[in-house]
Amino acid sequence: MRIRFCGANRTVTGSCHLIEVNGLRLFLDLGMYQGAREEAHRLNAWFPEQAERVDGIILSHGHLDHCGKIPCLTRAGYDGPIYCTHPTAEVARIVLEDAAEIQEEDANYLNRRERAPDQVPIRPLYTRADVPKVLRQLRRAHYQQRVDLGNDVGFTFHDAGHILGSAYVILDWRENGSARRLLYTADLGRYNTPIIRDPQPVPGPVDHVITESTYGGRPHEPMNEVAPQLLEITRQVIRNRGRMLVPAFAVGRTQVILWYLQRFIQQELIPRIPIYVDSPMGIEVCEVHSRFRESYDQETRDAIGDRDLFGASRITFARTSEESKRINNDGGPCVIIASSPTCEFGRILHHLKLSVERKQDVVVFAGWTPHRTLGRRLQDGQTRVRIYDRWYDVRCQVTTIHGMSAHADAAEVVRFLEPTLNGATQFWVVHGEPEESEALGAALLAAGGKHVTVPAMETAVMT
């Protein structure tokens, strides 16, 4: 088997790994790199040679940094199967349609600015017209249902507990008469989080592991501290009659934030302030959650019974751009949840332009963001930032609730990987900034792993 690392290597976005085994070429995820505009466009336009001729794509879940480059490949001629779980098929549809629309809107906005006559117009990587072809190629599989790919190769999805429909992958094949297995964790969820189930245990030893390391060197705050932190921030916003902006993934974190806010209202810990979900994608994902109630954990089922998961009657869903613009007529107190978490594109930018210089407003990040993004600059405390083509002084409060992250921290990853820590397993640590990946590698060695590598982008290994 040959593994080529084509994305999310020493960074936390753009997951993509090319597996060559028994004559088959398979992509494990094909994610969009999310970062500074020029760098993102360069990386998202790149593919390994003859990528359009691979035999299959195995998609772990519907986040943009795992599925967002698929339309680029189908546009280049790939017409093979794209395997995913049933909920992921619905989530990926929403994410890709939204990503295409955002690219079109941003390109139109930026091309309307004053620019030099010889400047090449900005073009989206793909448009909404490219998405239906992707959807026709989706092949749905259930958790714990082995899919036979031929040539003595197959794979099985298991619940990763990250977002609705997320999966880790066990790839199995025969090599020289022996059975071999590779575990691809993709993105692992935390234990005891709201709404969805915990990660399913790894079903025994494996030969190879490709593991994420988003929080490889940092522990999360305990889950029982998340609600008090969010409650205090919300109460502060109410007292100051400000606006709370939450740049959040439309899939996963948006739903978790709504879950907490609904609990606060039900328990009369806060009044019924306006809550806006300013993301067509986020709105549709909320609706998809309602259709896959079997994915809820038992605590959530017991808590809601037959009721709606998010208490939609208390929420204003902004589907159109006109509805989005009207939100900024509300000076507060209110909560505005909008994508994207990097603050590099999307509707959050228009809300930031208004709030970033207001002392009574708060920007709440529900997890860490990549380097060289507007979100990261805000998190790092920069006092002056550029939004679109204008500079702003940062006068609002900026805070991060790391415990709300949908990613397992270092201890939780090691706990999950415990069945693989047998001394013979080869580990490749990806999907983390360099210091995080190195830290998780050290933790795996300390826990009994013997062979750990942090691969660089575009490197390849033979097993």
pLDDT for 4 equals 98
- Do 357 and 449 lie in one domain? The reply is no
Residue 115: pLDDT band (50, 70, 90) is: low
Residue range 334-359: mean pLDDT, rounded: 90
Residues 232 and 191 in one domain: no
Domain of 275, CATH number, reads 3.40.50.10890
pLDDT surpassing 60 at residue 448: yes
> Averaged over 270-291, what is the pLDDT?
89
pLDDT for the residue numbered 462: 93
Write down the pLDDT at residue 189. Answer: 95
The rounded distance, in Å, linking the Cα atoms of 207 and 450 is 12
| Residue 313 pLDDT > 80 | no
Residue that terminates a domain, selected from 403, 432, 451? 403
> According to the model, what pLDDT value does residue 75 have?
95
Nearest alpha-carbon partner for 312 in 288, 338, 280, 283: 283
Average pLDDT over residues 240-268: 89
Q: Model confidence over 394-445: pLDDT tens digits?
A: 999 999 998 888 899 999 999 999 999 988 999 999 999 999 999 999 999 9
Last residue of a domain, one of 403, 429, 451: 403
Among 368, 383, 403, residue at a domain's last position: 403
The residue with tokens 């991060």 is: 400
Mean pLDDT of the chain: 92
Q: At residue 319, does pLDDT exceed 90?
A: no
Find how far residue 2's CA is from the centre of its chain: 26
What is the C-alpha to C-alpha distance for residues 129 and 124, in angstroms, rounded to an integer? Answer: 12
Reported as a single tens digit per residue, the pLDDT across 295-305 is 999 988 887 87
Tokens 């205090």 found at: 232
CA angle, corner 76, sides to 44 and 1, nearest 5? 75
Per DSSP bridges, beta strands 451-453 and 390-393 are unpaired
Q: Looking at the structure, tell me whether residues 192 and 61 fall in a common domain.
A: yes
What is the predicted pLDDT for the residue at 286? 87
Percent of the chain with pLDDT over 70: 99
Tell me what the mean pLDDT of segment 151-180 comes to. Answer: 96
Per-residue pLDDT band at 379 (split at 50, 70, 90): very high
- What total of structural domains would you count in the chain? 2
Of 67-71, 302-306, 358-362, where does mean pLDDT reach its minimum?
302-306
DSSP strands (E only) in 219-294? 243-247, 275-278
Whether residues 377 and 445 fall in one domain: no
Residues 363 and 261 in one domain: yes
- Say what the pLDDT of residue 342 is: 86
State the residue range of the domain holding 457. 2-218+406-462
Give the other-Cβ count within 10 Å of 101's Cβ: 17
Is the pLDDT reported for residue 136 higher than 70?
Answer: yes
Does 213 lie in the same domain as 247?
no
pLDDT band at 311 (very low <50, low <70, confident <90, very high): low
**Residues 152-159: contacts with CB under 8 Å, at least 24 apart:** 152/22, 153/21, 153/22, 153/24, 153/26, 155/58, 155/83, 157/85, 158/200, 158/202, 158/203, 159/197, 159/199, 159/200
Which CATH number characterizes residue 199's domain?
3.60.15.10
Looking at the structure, do residues 364 and 387 belong to the same domain, yes or no?
yes
Using the 8-state DSSP alphabet, how is residue 33 labeled?
A: P
Q: Are residues 64 and 160 in the same domain?
A: yes
Does 165 lie in the same domain as 283?
no
Lowest mean pLDDT among 29-33, 113-117, 152-156, 431-435: 113-117
| 186 and 228 belong to one structural domain | no
